[in-house]
Amino acid sequence: MYGPKVKLRFFFILLILSILTLTVFLVLKSLEENVVYFKSPSDVKLMTELKNKKIRIGGMVKKNSIAMSTNEVNFIITDFKNEINVIYSGVVPNLFSEGKGVVAEGFLKDRNFFQASKILAKHDENYMPPEVKAALK
Amino acid sequence: MIYSSIGYYALIIGLAISLPIFFFSIINLRNNEILDIKIISFSFIQLLLVVISFLGLIVSFVLSDFSNETVFNNSHTTKPLFYKISGTWGNHEGSLLLWLLVLTLFIFVFLITSKNLLKNYRILTVLFQQIIIIGFFFFLLDSSNPFNQMFPIPNEGLGLNPILQDPALAIHPPILYLGYVGSSVIFSSVLAATSLNFISKTWAAHIKKWVLISWIFLTLGILLGSIWAYYELGWGGFWFWDPVENVSLMPWLALTTLLHCILVLEKRSTLKSWVIILSITTFTLSMSGTFLVRSGILNSVHTFASDPERGLFILSFLFILIFISLFVFFAFHKSDKKEIILFSLFSKETSILVNNWLMMYFLSVVLIGTTYPIFLDVISSEQISVGPPFYHKLIIPFLIPFLIFMAMGSQLRWIKSELNKKIYLIFFLIISFLISYLILKNFGNNHLINTVLIGSAFYLFLITIRDFLKEKKQNLSQNLSHFGFSMLILSILFNNIFSSEVITNLKVGETFKNEKFKIEFNDLKKFKEENYVSFKGYFLIEGNRSREKLEPELRVYNQPNIITSEADIKTTLLSDKFITINTVQNEEYFNVRYQIKPFMLWIWISVLLISLGGCVSLFRKKSL
């Protein structure tokens, strides 16, 4: 019915299409798994269920809330409506200080405690991360 | 004051010079004479004017002329001279002026080095390049003028962000931009060649030089940025999959693919559409790199204060350029069916093509990971970020076939290879996997994926070494780069697997101890420097068999008033010892982070080797 050349071409197109679908599927799936959502402390309070997924929380470091010990840095992130306690063992960025914007990445222990694995640095003291700006609105 | 004005008017006249260039080019295009010398002269004048403008800005920075807004925003009288100069391109306006400078410089160099080529091809390249140049002139004069006047004149400037006051970062932007902007010449040239149906072996041999130059600079630029991030940001990593890093990686991937396609085109006269599309892609990615970094759309740790209006301009300019290039591609490019040259499954062409597809896949992964947060933000105003696991998961498995094809491809011939002489390929593969298995077993790390990955990297490593010994100088450039790449992958993998770190908070005089290390924080001393105060911590670290004195620093800059951490790194052939400290206001405790990073030095060396391969290819008279 069809010549060998047509069959070969058909086979190739089929191969490429299936590879393409597979790749798209793979990319989308791992995107879904590895995306980190950004929340404000108020968002956290409104959450209906707490998932065991990595998230980011942004806001201001509350005044006089930083406490350090040998293993941990503890502080409170606030968006002036709600606040959340952060437990962190690691190095804080240079621009981390009270009354300044901060983004912490990690896991929620419950609605009030957040175990951070990373505190994000910003390079510019006058620069406010857009997400923090949004969270403070 | 006067220097800013000179710079400003030089820019305006420079823009006006585009008119005669256009005029004479179009006249010259119609008649059959040789290339009009006026085009070259005017291109030179334009270059000269941009150079004057750039010098004007540099002098304003050196003299701390705060009547100039850019100088006011980014400089300070107490800053060392070196950083006053590098501050010229350490900001948005200055860096765009640098873009323009390189744009005009490159098209001039192109004109004087392409004498043997078609007249119309040269003219059309100039015309396409002029479109880009004019775009940048307007962009500079309209929304990012480096010469804005301030009144009243302030006494003191705001200062340069301290983390940018660093030798590596002083030369990082110019080098990176040479790479970025080099792709503009490729872009203009490919459009010109497509319109004239001049995509051929001759053209490939000529444009290869430009591809190599941009590729070398881009590679070195990324390397410098990475080294800077390693010691300055104090995280002890060299690549964070941060959007700003990604936008420099994407043009690199496209350019590397293009380089391989150009080589095929030069030898075998196929893959023409690949070459055209990749040239356009590379330049588009370079432009959008600038756009994304400067617009503030990307949320990145590297984002500096920025202005959305500028982003809009670059974005619309980018759309115009893409539209033009797509038009040229579809209107003029005819893929002549006769020219399809068959090649068998076991040939160089197949390997290169497979790896091209793989690199395009890597590129799409990085592109999706970088832009997806923007789209989601626009569509659902949900704010997200895509972390390193995403990239690792999608890229690492595909590195295995990539490395294997890279190793085999160089061993195969064009068109068709005899298989019976290639038994050693299988032999080497088995040996590589054995070595990898033994190494990992010895260190008690037995993940299958690691074994296979390290095995494939060893495969490329061994095959290239065999080539060095056997083929002597044939294919030296390719061998060097591929060897460098195998070393890069190996170093990164070993670095990842064998790194260790301690994070703790210590007061002065305290000691931290665990089963592996003992960290003594002995002293903290204060030093006064030109534009900062330095607090140096004195640490004694004892591990098994090693005793190390390390002195990390905290710097408190005067203007702007920012604290930065300076890591102290002890580099040896096999591993880096890396320590940073940080302070938190009103606390006696210091954040201390101590890391042992194996093979760090080799990551840098292998990237140098990769670009060295490019240099060898560039400077060799006869290509093989």
Supply the pLDDT for residue A71. Answer: 84
Is residue B138 one of the residues assigned to a domain?
yes
Q: Which of A38, A89, A97 sits opposite B585 (nearest CB)?
A: A97
Q: Tell me the per-residue pLDDT of A61-96, one tens digit each, with 9 for 90 and over.
A: 888 888 888 888 999 998 888 899 999 988 888 878
Cα–Cα distance for residue pair B53/B215, rounded to 1 Å? 28
Write out chain A residues lying below 8 Å of B165, CB-based.
none
Separation CA B306–CA B609 (nearest Å)? 36
Q: Which residue has the higher pLDDT, B559 or B491?
A: B491
Mark out the alpha helices in B233-271 (DSSP H runs).
243-268
Q: Give the mean model confidence (pLDDT) for residues B396-425.
A: 85
pLDDT over 60 (residue B159): yes
**Stretch B153-175: mean pLDDT, rounded?**
85
Chain B residues within 8 A of A131 when measuring between CB atoms: 299, 383
Both A43 and A24 in one domain: the answer is no
- Residue in this structure with the two tokens 């296979």, named with its chain if needed: B452
The model's confidence at residue A136, banded by pLDDT at 50, 70 and 90, is low
Residues A13 and A51 in one domain: no
Residues from chain A that touch B299, judged by Cβ atoms under 8 A, are 129-131
Query: Which residue of B301, B390, B503 is in closest CB contact with A90?
Result: B503
Least confident of B210-214, B414-418, B582-586, B612-616: B414-418
Number of residues written out for chain B: 624
Examine the pLDDT at B303 and tell me if it is beyond 60: no
On the question of pLDDT at A2 being above 70, the answer is: no
- The mean pLDDT value of chain B amounts to 88
**Nearest CA among B104, B150, B106, B151 for reference residue B10:** B104
Q: Is residue B385 part of a domain?
A: no
Q: Identify the CA nearest to A65 among candidates A97, A43, A38, A39.
A: A97
Residue B566 maps to a domain: yes
- The average pLDDT across A107-128 equals 76
* Residue A129: pLDDT over 70: no
Residue A86 sits in the same domain as residue A126: yes
Of the residues A5, A34, A100, the best mutation for testing chain B's interface (the one with the most B CB atoms within 10 Å of its CB) is A34
- Whole-number pLDDT of residue B1: 75
- For position A20, what pLDDT does the model report? 86
In this prediction, residue A135 carries a pLDDT of 56
* C-alpha distance from A68 to closest chain B C-alpha (Å): 7
Q: Which domain holds residue A99?
A: 37-136
Q: Is residue B34 part of a domain?
A: yes
CB–CB of B482/B501 below 8 Å?
no
Position B98 scores a pLDDT of 93
- Contact between chains at B369 and A70 (C-beta distance less than 8 A): no
pLDDT at B304: 45
State how far residue B477 is from chain A, nearest Cα, in angstroms: 33
Tell me the pTM: 0.91
Question: Which among B350, B591, B594 is the top mutation candidate for probing chain A, defined by the most A β-carbons within 10 Å of its own β-carbon?
Answer: B591
**Spatial separation of the C-alpha atoms in residues B558 and B587, rounded to whole Å:** 21
B575-610 residues labelled b (16+ CB within 10 A) or e (exposed) = bbbbbbbbbbeeeebbbbbbbbbbbbbbbbbbbebb
Here the CATH number for the domain that contains residue A102 is 2.40.50.140
B42 part of a folded domain: yes
Contact list, B560 vs chain A (CB under 8 Å): 125-126
Q: Which of B524, B531, B566, B572 is nearest to B548 (CA)?
A: B572
Q: Give contacts of B 364-393 with A, CB under 8 A.
A: 364-365, 368-369, 372, 382-387, 389-390, 393
Residue B463 confidence (pLDDT): 92
Residue among A37, A94, A127 minimizing CB distance to B565: A94
Nearest CA to CA, how far is B198 from chain A (Å)? 29
* Percent of chain B whose predicted confidence (pLDDT) is above 90: 51
Last residue of a domain, one of B117, B148, B165: B165
Provide the domain count of chain B: 2
User: Is B506 near chain A, with CB under 8 Å?
Assistant: yes
Classify residue B54: in a domain, yes or no: yes
- pLDDT in the model for residue B36: 80
Checking if the pLDDT of B166 tops 60, the result is yes
> Are A56 and A38 spatial neighbours (Cβ–Cβ below 8 Å)?
yes
DSSP annotation string for B326-360: HHHHHHH----GGG-----SSSHHHHHHHHHHHHH
- Please indicate whether residue A130 or residue B235 has the higher confidence score (pLDDT): B235
B454-504: pLDDT as tens digits: 999 999 999 999 988 887 667 889 999 999 999 999 999 999 888 888 888
Query: Of A97-101, B35-39, B40-44, B596-600, which range is least confident?
Result: A97-101
For the stretch B326-371, pLDDT in tens is: 999 999 887 655 555 566 777 888 899 899 999 999 999 999 998 8
- Domain span at residue B150 reads 1-165
Which tens digits make up the pLDDT trace of B54-95?
999 999 999 999 999 989 988 888 888 999 999 898 888 888
Q: Would you call B486 helix, strand, or coil by DSSP?
A: helix
- Tokens representing B238 are 């060299």
pLDDT tops 60 at residue B299: no
Average pLDDT of the residues in B585-608: 91
Q: Helical H runs in B410-447? A: 423-442
Same domain, A125 and A77: yes
- Residues of chain B with Cβ-Cβ distance to A121 below 8 Å are 233, 301
pLDDT given at position B283? 95
A30 and A45 assigned to the same domain: no
pLDDT of residue B244: 83
Nearest by CB to B580, which of A89, A91, A97?
Answer: A91
Q: Does B152 touch chain A (CB under 8 A)?
A: no
Judged against a pLDDT cut of 70, whether residue B295 lies above it is answered with no
How many Cβ atoms from other residues are within 10 Å of residue B240's Cβ? Answer: 18
Same domain, A60 and A120: yes
For residue A104, the distance in angstroms to the closest alpha carbon of chain B comes to 12
Average pLDDT over residues B262-281: 90
Chain segment B3-13, per-residue pLDDT in tens: 999 999 999 99
pLDDT at B301 > cutoff 50: no
Q: Which helix (H) or strand (E) is B512 found in, with range?
A: strand B511-513
Residues A49 and A21 in one domain: no
- The residue-averaged pLDDT of B256-277 equals 91
Confidence (pLDDT) at B340: 57
Task: Identify the bridge partners of residue B566 per DSSP, sorted by sequence position.
Answer: B553
How many domains does chain A divide into? 2
Say if the ipTM goes beyond 0.85.
no
pLDDT of residue B306: 53
pLDDT at B305: 46
Give how far B533 is from chain A: nearest CA, Å.
Answer: 15
Query: A59 with A115, same domain?
Result: yes
pLDDT at B297: 61
Indicate if A102 and A83 belong to the same structural domain: yes
Cβ distance of B505 and A71 shorter than 8 Å: yes
Strand pairing category for A55-61 and A73-78:
antiparallel
Is the pLDDT confidence value at B106 over 50? yes
Same domain, residue pair A11 and A41: no
> Among B65, B88, B236, B76, which residue's Cα sits nearest to residue B157?
B76
pLDDT, residue B485, reads 97
Q: Which among B134, B165, B196 is the end of a domain?
A: B165
Percent of chain B clearing pLDDT 70 (strictly above): 94
